[in-house]
Amino acid sequence: MKNTEIYQKIDTIILHMPDYIKDFVQDREDKDQSPRTTLEYLKNYKLFYEWLLSESIVPDTSITSIRHLTAYDLNLYKSHLKRRAKENVKKDTTKAKLEDNNNLGLSTSTINRNITALKVLFKYLSKSSNNPLGKPYLDDNPMDQVATITDKTTLAARANAIEKKLFLDEDTQNYLDYIANEYKNTLSKRALIYYHRDVERDLAINALILGSGLRLSEVVNINLDDLSLDKNNVVVTRKGNKRDAVNIAAFAMEYLANYLAIRKERYKVTENEKALFLAIYQGEAKRISGIAIERMVAKYSKGFRVQVSPHKLRHTLATRLYQQTNSLVLTAQQLGHSSTNTTTLYTHIDNAATIDALNSL
């Protein structure tokens, strides 16, 4: 999604938000903070306000009402999040599965994203004077007494679960070969038409993620001029709205070159369309969406071995790179991580040395 589209969505949402939210958004813009993150925060606040009103915690969402919120109220919202049905889970409606599905809770990361969004807002309301009042809206910050949830799953357990969905070693190339040569054998004549239209693009996207570890949003927002076949790299916008030149593995370059060779003619694209990866929407070539990429990766990976997300392809690159370099720093840099803390996960996936040591005891 382009920044102009993100700002349009932000403007639409804040039309129905209280004035202090508009001031909060303006403060983030003044500090050149990520509009994409701002948009996600606003979605979280909308859910928060809906809960406040539905539970009659406050009569409205004015700053006067927000001043009456206590840490107890906010921890009630945290409890509400923990009880909610998991988002984006397609429920199995068979009788045997209904009870299990109804017991599903929001993931820890989703709950923590909501809590973090509120912490950012309340910090602004209690600390910042960048508003028409010229002083903070709140005298204190009740969100200071609301803690995020600690993930009780160990890194080793997380790594074990993830490893089953990684295409490591020769499986990286086997997966790409499956898309190119075997997947079409499963299709109807009608589906084959779309496969042949998009196969170069689909291979390029899969190879790019497997060869660079880019995030889904980074792939979607690449423009034609961002990719350099000569330098084997691509310039992307990282988290925090930071521009970064990301190296691409050599094996992926052929797929990218093949796609570029057919892009203009195949998608009947005009010179004004700057997006690298395109899709046909209502007969017109436009920037491909994140949802379209997720669905595309899901269908190919399910046919190959196990259904995965683009993020698991990113995990695949990270694991392979760590196995080759044994360097958390290099792996973190490639992924665009600000520290090596997150990258530590990949040391647990590559546990062959630990197993060998145990077997030698």
* Residue 309, SS3 per DSSP: coil
238 is an active site residue: no
Beta-strand relationship, 284-287 and 233-237: unpaired
Q: For residue 27, with 0-12 CB atoms within 10 Å meaning exposed, 13-18 middle and 19 or more buried, which class applies?
A: middle
Of the listed 78, 239, 266, 299, which one is catalytic? 239
322 is an active site residue: no
* Residue 336, SS3 per DSSP: coil
346 is an active site residue: yes
Of the listed 314, 315, 320, 348, which one is catalytic? 314
Of the listed 20, 45, 346, 348, which one is catalytic? 346
Question: What are the CA-CA distances from residue 55 to residues 48, 51, 119, 178, 261 (Å)?
Answer: 11, 6, 21, 52, 57
Of the listed 113, 215, 287, 312, which one is catalytic? 215
Rounded-to-integer distance, Cα 164 and Cα 183, Å:
21
Rounded-to-integer distance, Cα 92 and Cα 228, Å:
45
For residue 299, give every residue at least 6 positions away whose Cβ sits within 8 Å of its Cβ, in sequence order, or none.
none
Among 201, 207, 205, smallest CA distance to 177 is for 207
Rounded-to-integer distance, Cα 266 and Cα 15, Å:
40
Question: What are the CA-CA distances from residue 161 to residues 153, 325, 348 (Å)?
Answer: 11, 23, 11
315 is an active site residue: no
DSSP string, 265-284: HHTT--TT--BSSEEEETTE
255 is an active site residue: no
Of the listed 9, 84, 123, 311, which one is catalytic? 311
337 is an active site residue: yes
Residues annotated as catalytic are 215, 239, 311, 314, 337, 346
